[in-house]
Amino acid sequence: MGRGPLMPFVLLALAIAFEVTATLSMRASDGFTKAGPAVVVVVGYLISFFFMAKALTSLNVGPVYAIWSALGTIGAFVGGVLLFDEQVKPLTIAGAVIIVVGVIVMNLGGGVHQG
């Protein structure tokens, strides 16, 4: 893959997308009783960790993990609502907002790029 300045963020986005897919597939696997979604869980997490490891060769782990956690949490929340008809409650939305604000503050406190 190329080494442009945006590539680590592309790798991070891919890591997040595969992690969210794996997490939602875990829900769909019905306790690992459905083989298809269970395979997606394992493969999705493996691919996610691969992309995260590649992103961390040029990004700082603290802010990047915060971004991964926040976007993964929000992605799983939105996916749960859209795919599994999970309820949306005001406190859940407030929690999601707090997570995003926390990541923004953390990134303002220190750079994402290794320096």
Cα 4 to Cα 20: distance, rounded to the nearest angstrom: 25
pLDDT in tens, 74-104: 999 999 999 999 999 999 999 989 988 888 8
Cα 108 to Cα 104: distance, rounded to the nearest angstrom: 6
pLDDT in tens, 15-35: 999 999 999 999 999 999 999
Residue 114 predicted with pLDDT over 80: no
Q: What is the pLDDT of residue 103?
A: 83
Q: What is the pTM of this model?
A: 0.87
Contacts of 85 (CB under 8 A, 6+ apart): none
Averaged pLDDT score across all residues of the chain: 91
In order, the DSSP letters of 40-58 are HHHHHHHHHHHHHHHHTTT
CB 19 within 8 A of CB 41: no
| Angstrom distances, CA of residue 95 to CA of 28, 35, 82 | 24, 33, 18
Residue type, 113: H
Name the residue with higher pLDDT: 95 or 108.
95
